[in-house]
Structure 1
């Protein structure tokens, strides 16, 4: 029986999805996306307060498996893979991407769907599509400029250059770059901070932030005042807990 390509664990309301092809630097295939999507579907029915996405071994994800690419894997399943990344981005609870080692191309596209990114200082990022004569299919041309600005995104894509976790933090691609040996502890503390707060508030925040991207500024301001997503169910209990 083959090993799981994505491993799911849940503890104290914090779920972790781990890409699990360490011998291939967690390179992605259509099958990887099928498992990722199945796990996201399963977690949607659980009381998850925070989700962590990471990779097994020494890398987050080196991108799409090049052998699979040569065999037409990406073109055959590009819509399903793009939809899975969109599903990750729309996951109701806050999503933290924990990045060590390689985070290239398709792996970077996965990372960009996370709400918060934390990287080891020595992590290596890069959009290497142009190195291989490829083009993005999963949202890179939209999500990368949202993080770093259009001019910076163009430079990164045109040059396909690699850059460190420290550089990624400096340009705003990741929220934090921390010493590699402290990455697990830092992310665990961050996830605990998030999960200690109202899951209802955080879910509504995610919906409001998504609204603000889809609507004009004036309309988004008005929509927030109209409380389109209501109030968290635990508001009264938290207010009276003091």
Structure 2
């Protein structure tokens, strides 16, 4: 078994980052975040058109490792974990979260930074901060309502209720719920579709979608027409090869 807490592979323009503590259901530690951040830094300058984030074994991520948390395990800054999740959210290429098994609390916060989420039908999602007497510090209170709406986000957080992959799709927490057996194939096909398109166009789309959070609708419409992020470098080549 690899001693790496996060592993990385790259094939045909698709990078796969795998949380790699299957014996602990991929629970997160400070070292896990340090490795994730290092991988994101390395990929930022690579020819990567899509990233898949997943977990080894039977779970995506059961959340923050509570034993290490109680023992005072932390990165050099109390904001470092949150910044790493923001790095994932702001990664220039589209990011797909492939979810099987547990996706709880800190694991859910990590998943919410992905652009697209695909769950297996036996996946389980939950925000369990209140169950353990904890408060979110990695972005849950912002990203969860963005996905499911404020009322549903409040219910999930106040109750710490677990929901299935099927229900997660019903409330639009995830984009797709597919059979566990077909999860790998579905995500591989989705990543290939993304990788086949213009990396520059997708980078610009990510920037435009992100900017709408800070602008009202009229400002966002005006901003898009001004081409604030330019045009993709491969536009002419793609247009002329039709």
TM surpasses 0.5? yes
Give secondary structure in 2 for the equivalent of 1:28: coil
Question: Is 68-77 or 35-44 further displaced after alignment?
Answer: 68-77
Give secondary structure in 2 for the equivalent of 1:92: coil
Give secondary structure in 2 for the equivalent of 1:73: coil
Q: C-alpha displacement at 1:73, in angstroms?
A: 2.4
Q: C-alpha displacement at 1:72, in angstroms?
A: 2.3
Give secondary structure in 2 for the equivalent of 1:7: strand
Q: 1:202 to 1:150 in 2, by over 3 A?
A: same
Deviations 1:37-67 (A, max 9, x none): 0000000010100000000000000000010
Q: C-alpha displacement at 1:165, in angstroms?
A: 0.3
2:226 is matched with 226
Give secondary structure in 2 for the equivalent of 1:26: coil
State the alpha-carbon separation in 1 of the partners of residues 72 and 108 from structure 2: 20
Matched, 1:42 2:42: yes
| Cα RMSD (Å) | 1.3
Give secondary structure in 2 for the equivalent of 1:180: coil
**Higher helix fraction (1 or 2):** 1
Q: What stretches of structure 1 of length at least 5 have no aligned partner?
A: none
2:70 is matched with 70
Matched, 1:238 2:203: no
Matched, 1:29 2:38: no
Q: C-alpha displacement at 1:74, in angstroms?
A: 4.9
Give secondary structure in 1 for the equivalent of 2:231: coil
2:135 is matched with 135
Q: What stretches of structure 2 of length at least 5 have no aligned partner?
A: none
Give secondary structure in 1 for the equivalent of 2:78: helix
State the alpha-carbon separation in 2 of the partners of residues 64 and 39 from structure 1: 19
State the alpha-carbon separation in 2 of the partners of residues 50 and 32 from structure 1: 21
1:109 is matched with 109
Give secondary structure in 2 for the equivalent of 1:43: helix
Q: 1:75 to 1:93 in 2, by over 3 A?
A: closer
Deviations 1:163-203 (A, max 9, x none): 00000000000000000100000000000000000011000
Give secondary structure in 2 for the equivalent of 1:213: coil
Normalised by the size of structure 1, how large is the TM-score?
A: 0.98
- Note if contact 1:62-1:106 (Cα within 8 Å) is conserved in structure 2: yes
**Corresponding pairs, count:** 242
- Note if contact 1:30-1:77 (Cα within 8 Å) is conserved in structure 2: no
Give secondary structure in 1 for the equivalent of 2:79: helix
Q: C-alpha displacement at 1:213, in angstroms?
A: 1.1
Q: C-alpha displacement at 1:216, in angstroms?
A: 1.4
Normalised by the size of structure 2, how large is the TM-score?
A: 0.98
State the alpha-carbon separation in 2 of the partners of residues 117 and 18 from structure 1: 15
- Note if contact 2:89-2:114 (Cα within 8 Å) is conserved in structure 1: yes
Q: 1:60 to 1:214 in 2, by over 3 A?
A: same
Q: 1:29 to 1:41 in 2, by over 3 A?
A: same
